[in-house]
Amino acid sequence: MKRLIAVLCLALAGCAGQVDGPSEPQVVRVEVPVQVPCRTERVQRPVFAVDVLPIGASIAEQMRALRADRLQRKGYELRLEAAVEACR
């Protein structure tokens, strides 16, 4: 019985704090990140020197084409990385 009285007193004490009635609703601003599509120009794949090399090309021509191909690929990769970085 004493416990019941103690619980009722605590319940009434909790309700006593709300004398003013319901408070006005408050506006809460919630910022949520929203994905947006990336709008960069498509990076065109260059025609690499090795791709247009004739089948019967000499070793010297193949080596020149491979060196040129390496520089072309580096430039192509830099443009691709720049396009990806622009979308971040």
Residuewise pLDDT in 10s, the chain (88 residues)? 777 777 766 666 665 555 566 678 889 999 998 888 888 888 999 999 999 999 999 999 999 999 999 999 999 999 999 999 988 7
Identify whether the C-beta of residue 37 lies closer than 8 Å to the C-beta of residue 18: no
What's the domain count of the chain? 1
Please state, in angstroms and rounded to a whole number, the distance separating the CA atoms of residues 69 and 51: 9
For residue 23, being part of any structural domain is answered with no
For residue 50, being part of any structural domain is answered with no
pLDDT for position 34: 86
* Predicted TM-score (pTM) of this structure: 0.55
For residue 1, being part of any structural domain is answered with no
Range of the domain at 61: 56-88
pLDDT for position 3: 77
For residue 87, being part of any structural domain is answered with yes
| Letter string b/e over residues 53-64, b meaning 16 or more CB atoms within 10 A of that residue's CB | beeeeeeeeeee
pLDDT for position 17: 57
